[in-house]
């Protein structure tokens, strides 16, 4: 990947970080080799720069990241999008993102992002059923990469999994196309009885789930009766685009 972080931008990125010359050299190496640094790992990067793994980890912490993986992810995001990360949520260029912005208030997207960013010492919990589980699992993996403590479950998992972590929940995120799946409603009802914010990603803004949630993010469902997802539909791709818009706002807060 050819990066868009020039030396000038790197200088701005590290302003006030008090990096040593060696740490800055390592940072430049990461930028130049961003596609393979995860394969190299901390020790591989250290070896390539004739330094120690401790130096690489110290660089990550000085840059404000929780660890090596988060540093790689954030640098890769900046390299791919350049200054696009500063683009207002109202001005997305991607057709899918533009479509979901037409259906959601930018203030709601920012509010959800703020809730996600605020969860530090507690857990994020994701719950979804059926095909929505694919979206839920994607969200789960994304949060893991971002260093968030999180859990993900579906109706096939033990009910005790959620119950065991109720006292440690910071945010409950539910994905449901219909917003009427009974297991989803049951879990949302359980959490909404506690002082834990509930966020719903759904295709039905008038659903039982949407009415329970503190914040609802919606995507138009053109085939609400297609429970088996047999029709060609952009519902789930748009749901992912909406989630990535939220993550874009989270990045601005970190």
How much is the pLDDT for 254? 65
Q: For the segment 61-99, what is each residue's pLDDT rounded down to a tens digit? A: 998 888 888 888 888 877 765 544 445 555 555 666 677
User: Both tokens of residue 100?
Assistant: 């979901």
Query: Quick one: pLDDT band at residue 159, thresholds 50, 70, 90?
Result: confident
Q: Are 71 and 38 contacting, i.e. CB atoms less than 8 angstroms apart? A: no
1 contacts: CB under 8 Å, gap ≥ 6: 34, 35, 76, 79, 80
User: Whole-angstrom Cα distance, residue 15 to residue 95?
Assistant: 35
Q: For the segment 200-229, what is each residue's pLDDT rounded down to a tens digit? A: 999 999 999 999 999 999 988 777 776 777
User: Whole-angstrom Cα distance, residue 150 to residue 17?
Assistant: 29
User: Both tokens of residue 111?
Assistant: 């509010």
Q: Are 221 and 235 contacting, i.e. CB atoms less than 8 angstroms apart? A: yes
Position 8 pLDDT exceeds 50? no
Lowest mean pLDDT among 18-22, 59-63, 82-86, 140-144: 82-86
Position 1 pLDDT exceeds 50? no
User: Whole-angstrom Cα distance, residue 202 to residue 103?
Assistant: 12
Identify any residues that bridge with 153 across adjacent strands, giving them in sequence order.
Answer: 127
Half-sphere exposure of residue 230, counting CA atoms within 13 Å on the CB side? 4
> In this structure, what DSSP letter does residue 207 have?
S
What average pLDDT does range 115-141 have in this prediction? 93
User: Whole-angstrom Cα distance, residue 202 to residue 218?
Assistant: 5
Query: Quick one: pLDDT band at residue 152, thresholds 50, 70, 90?
Result: very high
User: What is the percentage of the chain residues whose pLDDT exceeds 70?
Assistant: 88
Q: Are 67 and 57 contacting, i.e. CB atoms less than 8 angstroms apart? A: yes
How much is the pLDDT for 36? 87
What average pLDDT does range 99-126 have in this prediction? 89
Domains in the chain, please, with CATH?
Answer: 7-85 (1.10.10.10), 89-253 (3.40.50.10490)
Q: Are 142 and 116 contacting, i.e. CB atoms less than 8 angstroms apart? A: no
Question: Could you tell me which of 173, 48, 188, 62 has the C-alpha nearest to residue 123?
Answer: 173
Alpha-carbon separation of residue 102 from 220, 227, 236 (angstroms): 10, 25, 16
User: What is the percentage of the chain residues whose pLDDT exceeds 90?
Assistant: 47
């Amino acid at each position: 990947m050819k990066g868009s972080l020039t030396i000038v931008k790197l200088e701005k990125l590290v302003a006030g970080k008090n990096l040593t010359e060696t740490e800055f050299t390592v940072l430049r190496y990461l930028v130049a080799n961003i596609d393979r640094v995860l394969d190299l790992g901390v020790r591989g990067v250290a070896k390539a720069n004739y330094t120690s793994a401790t130096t690489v980890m110290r660089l990550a912490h000085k840059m404000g990241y929780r660890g090596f993986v988060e540093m790689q992810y954030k640098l890769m995001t900046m390299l791919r999008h350049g200054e696009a990360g500063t683009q207002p949520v109202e001005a997305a260029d991607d057709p899918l993102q533009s479509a979901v912005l037409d259906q959601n208030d930018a203030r709601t997207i920012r509010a959800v992002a703020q809730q996600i960013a605020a969860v530090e010492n507690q857990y994020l919990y994701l719950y979804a059923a059926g095909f929505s589980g694919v979206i839920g699992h994607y969200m789960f993996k994304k949060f893991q990469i971002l260093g968030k403590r999180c859990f993900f479950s579906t109706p096939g998992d033990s009910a005790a999994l959620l119950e065991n972590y109720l006292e440690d929940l910071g945010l409950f995120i539910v994905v449901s196309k219909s917003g009427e799946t009974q297991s989803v409603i049951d879990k949302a009802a359980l959490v909404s009885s506690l002082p834990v914010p509930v966020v719903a990603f759904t295709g039905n803004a008038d659903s039982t789930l949407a009415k329970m949630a503190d914040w609802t993010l919606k995507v138009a469902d053109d085939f609400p009766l297609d429970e088996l997802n047999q029709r060609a539909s952009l519902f789930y791709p748009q749901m992912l685009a909406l989630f990535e818009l939220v993550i874009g706002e989270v990045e601005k807060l970190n």
